[in-house]
Chains A and B, each alone.
Chain A
Amino acid sequence: MTTSGGEAALFAVLAPLMVIAALGLLFARRAVHAAICVVFVMVSLAILYVANEAPFLGIVQVVVYTGAVMMLFLFVLMLVGVDAADSLTETIRGQRWIGVLLGAGLLAVLLGVITRATFPPAVGLEAANAATNPEGLAAVLFGDYVLAMEVVGVLLVTAALAGLVLTHRRRLGPRRTQRLQARERVAQMAVDPARRRPLTPLPAPGVYAQNNAMDTPALGPDGQPLEHSVPRVLRIRGQRRSPVAVLGAQETLVQRIAPEDVPAEGAREVPGAGADSTEGETR
């Protein structure tokens, strides 16, 4: 029962780092940092398991705890956006004292079990891993402790089912599938011309040489501005730009860049006329 030099060095490097990471879990400000610390502790623990010739345990620790359980934690943290500004008010009365009591009870039970447990003399890793590590473990779990395994399995399945039942919601209306919505839109065109809307996606806002902002309406094939190409919010706020203004600004710009090419008076004095002529060109 001696430790090889490599193993001792590994432990000497990993153990302090693990302690630091574990303290990081307690003192990290942001929940995601705490989660990363836990991941580090888990992976280091897995490395130590593997170094202690329990490769199956080590790998499963990473796959199940780090890869699935901790990932779900992180998932929820990111979705909910838990941050430093957590409220510390207790929602259940006496929550803290109940927690302390239950924790003390668990500690007492565990201490009782650990102090009273007697172990048979160790057979050594050579004998335990004789038929490969996973097979030895399988023989113990599904041979000696099969009942406990099955009970735990039933418990977990029950919990999973309970989760499904608790989050289940009865559907009140019919399900609106993509096909159903498409049919509705076509049917609506035939029934009510007043509420007609295009079957295709709405036209994008206008794109001109100088300006492709959201507030500029597009020009239709007939050269008329399409009001509904500007987002509804901008229209309600009154932030829509008229195409005449856009094209007028463009005229001014063109004139500023190359004043000798464009007759100066026409565009400056009558911006509307200039806009019309450009509109004619785009048509």
Chain B
Amino acid sequence: MIPGVAADFSQDTFVTYLVKAVLIIVFLLTSVLVAIWFERRVVARMQVRPGPNVHGPFGLLQSLADAMKLLLKEDVNVTAADRIVYLLAPMVSVFCSLLVFAVVPFGPEVTIPFTDFTTPAQLTDFPVAVLYVLACASLGVYGIVLGGWSSGSTYPLLGSVRSTAQVISYELAMGLSLVSVFILAGSMSTSTIVEGQQSIWFFLPLLPAFVVYVISMIGETNRLPFDLPEAEGELVSGYMTEYSSMKFAWFFLAEYINMLNVSAIATTLFLGGWRAPWPLSAVGDGVLNTGWWPILWFLAKVWLLMFVFVWVRGTLLRLRYDQFMVFGWKVLIPVALAWVVVLAVVQWFRLDAGVSRTVLVAVILGVGLAAVALVSLWPDRRRSPEHDDAGPGSEAGTAPSSAPGTVDAFAGGYPVPPLPGQSLPPSPRAGRRPVEHVPAGGAGPDTPHDDVEEGAR
């Protein structure tokens, strides 16, 4: 047995590993076909239209038909592309996305039917399995980045630059929310984390971390409302604009496998993994948590999260890029950091200082109530910022350009040098002598009509 890992892989041989690996790949590929159909049907239902319903029962074979079409299409190679990297990028994407499920526990020990061979329903596990998932995710970004760069075209490059910034910043928040799971479970191995959720699933005590994880997992997989690397309205389709046929299909496959990956990780770390939900877990002294049943619960939870993905996509609008980055850096990361600190302190009191759980919960509730009371009773000294800088006519009236002949250099939103006959108002920088006004009758702030018009386009 590996130290620090709950699952016991000592019986497994090379053949067992091979069979499990093949089963995982088959599972992922079929799940992607189902996921595409599922997404299209659910979004269609949300938009009051039927969705794919022609090929096969309930349109189930539609995604198979699409996959065949992509396979048989002409494989276009862009002339300006950097050939090797252009081919390498989709492969990197798919390869990295396939790696993650190696450490995801589908269930506890299962016995192969008609034999007495027992093995964990999991390919492998080791003491840093969750970090391995993060590593695979961060390698997968190379597929997107290199794909965008190697296409030799502008929109893909912009898409890949965006996705780099996006994934790096959202990976921080995601990693921090995972840290709180490590603190509570005392381990980074997936099977041990599931083992630790016997009494309570971690999403309840770690609710803030769970919320941060769910948000950042949507950002990490480039899904709406965070699909800025492939925003159709701005970037055609971002990093995959110049890809066609099977190479495009690989990117597509990687995106859907990544959705399954992050859902499975969320299930494992926060939603009890393969454990049966509460009323069922009490049935027959926990019989539903043994044998092959757990795989059912695991899949149900994963598909619940997949439904959340589709639901969010059908509900929310795409964010503007700056709002998105501000949200990631100024909201998600500070919240996740603060939560980790709070949790570490609480955990220290519980484990090292020997404070009992009831006392601890009472103290936390008390502090929380006091904080809420303090915030609600605090005198509201915040003047509304819109009144400060956007009162009626503030831009024209109270700006320093009120003196005749001076020009507001920032009237168009960016600094412009004064025209002949105009002068700048005194600089607001500290420690500089005010500039004397030139009393010549300048034309005042003058933006050509056409510029203004162009800005509105």
Residues in chain A within 8 A of chain B (CB atoms): 30, 32-33, 36, 39, 43, 46, 55-56, 59-60, 62-63, 66-68, 71-72, 74-75, 78-79, 129-135, 170, 172-177, 179-181, 183-185, 187, 191, 195, 197-198, 201-202, 228, 231-232
Contact = CB atoms under 8 A, between A and B. Distances in A.
Nearest to B136: A62
A185 B428 CA distance: 26
Contact of B142 (A39, A174, A183): A39
Contacts of A170: 429
Contact of B168 (A39, A71, A232): A71
A132 B4 contact: yes
A214 B168 CA distance: 39
A201 B456 CA distance: 6
**6 residue pairs, one from A and one from B, having the closest CB atoms:** A67-B138, A132-B4, A173-B410, A62-B135, A132-B127, A174-B389
B395 interface: yes
A208 to B, nearest CB: 21
B132 interface: yes
B453 A202 contact: yes
A201 B457 CA distance: 5
- Most chain B Cβ neighbours within 10 Å, of A43, A59, A79, A170: A59
Interface string B446-457: 000110111011
Contacts of B149: 32, 74, 78
Nearest to A32: B149
Contact of B428 (A172, A197, A202): A172
A135 B161 CA distance: 37
Given A56-B127, A197-B453, A175 B168 contact: no
A43 B139 contact: yes
Contacts of B188: 134
Contact of B3 (A130, A174, A177, A187): A130
Interface string B376-395: 00000000001001101101
Given A36-B146, A195-B449, 7 more contacts: A32-B149, A59-B132, A71-B145, A130-B3, A131-B4, A135-B127, A172-B415
Interface string B408-443: 111001010000000000011100000000000000
Contacts of B88: 36
A133 B453 contact: no
A59 B131 contact: yes
Interface string B120-139: 00000011100110110111
B127 A55 contact: yes
B242 interface: no
30 contacts: A30-B82, A32-B82, A32-B149, A36-B88, A36-B146, A43-B139, A46-B135, A55-B126, A56-B131, A62-B138, A63-B131, A66-B138, A67-B139, A71-B145, A75-B145, A75-B161, A78-B145, A78-B148, A78-B160, A131-B3, A132-B4, A133-B127, A172-B410, A172-B428, A173-B408, A180-B395, A197-B453, A201-B456, A201-B457, A232-B450
Contacts of A197: 449, 452-453, 456
Nearest to B167: A71
B184 interface: no
Contacts of A30: 82
Given A32-B149, A132-B127, A176-B413, A232 B454 contact: yes
A21 B422 CA distance: 60
A179 B160 contact: no
A129 B2 CA distance: 10
Given A78-B160, A197-B456, A68 B168 contact: yes
A176 B427 CA distance: 18
A60 B130 CA distance: 11
A254 B452 CA distance: 40
Contact of B161 (A56, A79, A184, A187): A79
A189 to B, nearest CB: 12
A185 B395 CA distance: 11
B347 interface: no
B135 A74 contact: no
A33 B149 CA distance: 11
B69 to A, nearest CB: 28
Nearest to A181: B413
